[in-house]
């Protein structure tokens, strides 16, 4: 029995429950409400969703409050679950879990980890620094985290970060069924969309300058960043710097939602199971590329409208609908997918290099600097994401430039409408190879402020929406 195998006696156990209850009962009324439980869990680094689940599981009379009996019943049942998980990990039955046993358990669940990574997981729970976890350390670490099985614990050890750095929302990591039911996934998507909207608005002038230089490369030679910005202000005033930003913000939410849903479905197909599981690097690359292509296919007309609205002259279009009607009437439906091929082809090198560089940098950081945790932290993940995204953009930027030129072809009456290959030849012959990277400087300049704005807004929105860890 779990009580006899490393747990306290019944009297000691009940005394421990009473002491914990008194710590939670801040107003000393003999009841613990949701607010008191949230404060206690926040001090332990857990988010408010855990408090709601504890109340849901233990509030037998459904009055929204926990008395000592309900609290004790919950802890007793939860400790039994934790004991079963502990004994399943303790393969040699010596009463302790070591690094090899953690590594073996995660590998059985499809999560390949090195010995160093397993050591960092162990050290995050090891209170006495003896490189093993006994029952008391295991129990105390997970006591207020209502996990039900080893799959939940594995996901607890993983870290998901979904931030828009001004170019594309990263593909989210795997989520448990419990996280989907609780709405955590959608709260994080909303937080990510809000962060993307604010960061894109803050960096919109640089984005418009990038598009302007991409399309008018040959005629904009010799123009520096300030000259380009000054020219746009002279043409349409300060507000003209934000042309096209409205639809750019408008497409963030559907794009991120479609990408996430497509990623989940593709992941399930790859694994051939309804629940899915952790993906290997090559599988994540395939699923991420296909999910990105799916999202781009569905929202691509909005990309075309964004480019046209960004490049419009003062008074050319009255708004989004007027622009869409004008394109449909003068160019037909096909115009809404002009540049689609280079855009889709650009996803492959971008996603592949972005993912490979991200994983390499993150693992290198963990091996060199993280000695007491398996989580490198949000700021390190953001730094890795910024560098990897930059590398991905360098590889895919020529395709992005050609896409933008094709989207904007109708705005220039003099130039012929060229295919993707024709655009490449035209740019190289008239502007040289550097012409393929026209507008790259403002594109890179916006990365750091976009990351900073997105990080601050994302963390704030997660707290507001109750999705903060």
Predicted confidence (pLDDT) per residue in 366-375, tens digit: 667 765 555 5
Do 119 and 72 lie in one domain? The reply is yes
**Residue 388 counted as domain residue:** yes
pLDDT in tens, 305-338: 988 888 887 778 888 889 999 899 988 998 899 9
Nearest alpha carbon to residue 354 among 381, 390, 382, 380: 390
Cβ–Cβ < 8 Å for 208, 426: no
Examine residue 5 and state whether it is found in any structural domain, yes or no: no
Residue 48 resides in a domain:
yes
DSSP 416: -
pLDDT above 70 coverage of the chain, percent? 75
Candidates 154, 195, 197, 196; CA nearest to 176 is: 154
Specify whether 212 is located in the same domain as 255. Answer: yes
| Residues 151 and 232 both lie in one domain | no
Q: What pLDDT sits at residue 179?
A: 57
Backbone angles phi, psi at 313, to 5 degrees: -80, 160
Over residues 172-213, the pLDDT tens digits come to 445 555 556 666 667 777 877 888 888 889 988 988 888 888
pLDDT band for position 353 (cuts 50, 70, 90): confident
79 inside domain: yes
Residues in contact with 381: Cβ distance below 8 Å, sequence separation at least 6, in sequence order: 159, 161, 362
* Residue 169 domain-assigned (yes or no): no
For the cut 50, the answer to whether the pLDDT of residue 159 exceeds it is no
Does residue 242 share a domain with residue 278? yes
Select the more confidently predicted residue: 8 or 309.
309
Confidence check: pLDDT of 462 > 60: yes
Q: Is residue 71 a part of any domain in this protein?
A: yes
The answer, yes or no, to whether residue 261 has pLDDT greater than 70, is yes
Per-residue pLDDT at 311:
83
Within this chain, do residues 299 and 347 fall inside the same structural domain, yes or no?
yes
Single out the residue in 121, 156, 191 at which a domain terminates: 156
- pLDDT number for residue 160: 37
- Tally the C-alpha atoms within 13 A of residue 292's C-alpha that lie toward its C-beta: 25
Residue 336: predicted pLDDT? 92
pLDDT (tens digit, 9 = 90+) per residue, 213-242? Answer: 888 765 555 566 788 888 888 888 888 888
pLDDT given at position 29: 85
User: In percent, how much of the chain has pLDDT > 90?
Assistant: 4
pLDDT for residue 346: 83
Backbone torsions φ then ψ of 97, nearest 5 degrees: -110, 130
pLDDT for residue 258 is more than 90:
no
Q: Examine the domain organization and report whether 205 and 322 are in the same domain.
A: yes
Is the domain of 127 the same as that of 205?
no
163 torsion bin: left (phi>0), alpha (psi -120 to 50), beta (else): beta
pLDDT at 72 over 80: yes
Write out pLDDT tens, residues 381-439. 777 777 877 888 888 889 989 998 888 877 666 666 788 999 899 889 988 888 888 88
Where is pLDDT greater, at 325 or 126?
Answer: 325
Beta partners for residue 164, in sequence order: 169
Provide the number of structural domains found in the chain. 2
Residues 108 and 40 grouped into a single domain:
yes
Q: Tell me, what's the pLDDT at 301?
A: 93
Per-residue pLDDT, 89: 85
Residue 1 belongs to a domain = no
Taking Cα atoms as reference points, which of 340, 296, 353 lies closest to residue 169? 296
Q: How confident is the model at residue 108 (pLDDT cuts 50, 70, 90)?
A: confident
We report the CATH number of the domain holding residue 309 as: 1.50.40.10
The answer to whether residues 241 and 379 belong to one domain is yes
* pLDDT category of residue 1 using cuts at 50, 70 and 90: very low
- State the CATH number of the domain containing residue 137: 1.10.238.10
In a shared domain, residues 238 and 314: yes
> Using the 8-state DSSP alphabet, how is residue 325 labeled?
H
In the prediction, which pLDDT does 210 show?
87
Task: Read off the pLDDT of residues 239-252 as tens digits, 9 standing for 90 and up.
Answer: 888 888 888 888 88
Claim to verify: residue 213 and residue 102 sit in the same structural domain: no
The residues near 380 (Cβ < 8 Å, ≥ 6 apart) are 362, 365
Chosen domain end from 156, 190, 218: 156
Q: What band does 163 get if pLDDT is binned at 50, 70 and 90?
A: very low
Residue in the structure block whose two tokens are 């669940």: 109
- Same structural domain for residues 95 and 220? no
Band (113; pLDDT cuts 50, 70, 90): low
Question: What's residue 51's pLDDT?
Answer: 66
Pick the last residue of a domain from 102, 122, 156. 156
Residue with tokens 């093993």: 132
**Containing domain of residue 354, as a range?**
177-465
Number of other residues whose CB lies within 10 A of the CB of residue 313: 11
Round to whole Å and give the CA distance between 260 and 224: 38
**Mean residue pLDDT across the chain:** 77
Kindly report each contact of residues 58-67 with a partner whose C-beta sits within 8 Å and lies 24 or more positions away, as own/partner.
Answer: 64/33, 64/34, 65/31, 65/32, 65/33, 66/31, 66/32, 66/33, 66/37, 67/30, 67/31
Residue 338 in domain: yes
């Amino acid at each position: 029995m779990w009580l006899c195998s490393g747990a306290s006696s019944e009297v000691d156990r009940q005394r421990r429950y009473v002491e914990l209850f008194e710590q939670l009962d801040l107003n000393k009324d003999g009841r613990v409400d949701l607010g008191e439980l949230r404060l206690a869990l926040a001090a332990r680094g857990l988010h408010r969703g855990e408090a709601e689940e504890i109340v849901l599981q233990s509030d037998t009379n459904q009055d929204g409050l926990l008395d000592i009996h309900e609290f004790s019943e919950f802890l007793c049942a939860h400790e039994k679950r934790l004991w079963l998980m502990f004994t399943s990990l303790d393969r040699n039955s010596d009463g302790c879990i070591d690094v090899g046993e953690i590594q073996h358990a995660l590998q059985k669940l499809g999560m390949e980890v090195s010995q160093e990574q397993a050591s960092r997981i162990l050290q995050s729970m090891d209170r006495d620094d003896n490189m093993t976890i006994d029952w008391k350390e295991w129990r105390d670490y997970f006591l207020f985290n209502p996990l039900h099985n080893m799959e939940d614990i594995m996901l607890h050890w993983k870290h998901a970060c979904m931030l828009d750095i001004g170019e594309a929302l990263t593909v989210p990591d795997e989520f448990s069924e419990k996280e989907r039911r609780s709405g955590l996934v959608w709260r994080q998507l909303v937080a990510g969309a809000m962060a993307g909207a604010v960061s894109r608005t803050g960096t919109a002038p640089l984005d418009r300058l990038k598009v302007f230089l991409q399309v008018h490369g040959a005629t904009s030679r010799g123009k520096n960043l300030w000259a380009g910005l000054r020219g746009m202000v002279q043409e349409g005033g300060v507000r003209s710097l934000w042309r096209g930003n409205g639809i750019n913000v408008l497409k963030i939410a559907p794009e991120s939602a479609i990408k996430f849903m497509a990623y989940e479905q593709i992941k399930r197909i790859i694994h051939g199971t309804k629940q899915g599981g952790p993906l290997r690097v090559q599988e994540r690359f395939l699923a991420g590329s296909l999910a990105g292509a799916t999202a781009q296919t569905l929202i691509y007309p909005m990309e075309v409208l964004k480019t046209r609205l960004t490049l419009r002259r003062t008074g050319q279009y009255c708004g989004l609908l007027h622009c869409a009607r004008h394109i449909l009437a003068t160019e037909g439906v096909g115009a809404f997918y002009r540049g689609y091929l280079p855009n889709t082809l650009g996803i492959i090198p971008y996603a592949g290099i972005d993912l490979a560089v991200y994983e390499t940098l993150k693992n290198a950081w963990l091996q060199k600097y993280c000695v007491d945790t398996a989580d490198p932290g949000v700021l390190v993940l953001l730094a890795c994401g910024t560098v990897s995204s930059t590398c991905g953009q360098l590889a895919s930027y020529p395709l992005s430039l050609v896409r933008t030129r094709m989207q904007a072809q109708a705005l220039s009456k003099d130039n012929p409408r060229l295919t993707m290959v024709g655009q490449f030849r035209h740019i190289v012959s008239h502007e040289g190879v550097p012409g393929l990277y026209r507008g790259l400087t403002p594109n890179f300049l916006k990365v750091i402020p976009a990351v900073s704005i997105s990080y601050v807004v994302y963390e704030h929105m997660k707290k507001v929406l109750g999705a903060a860890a």
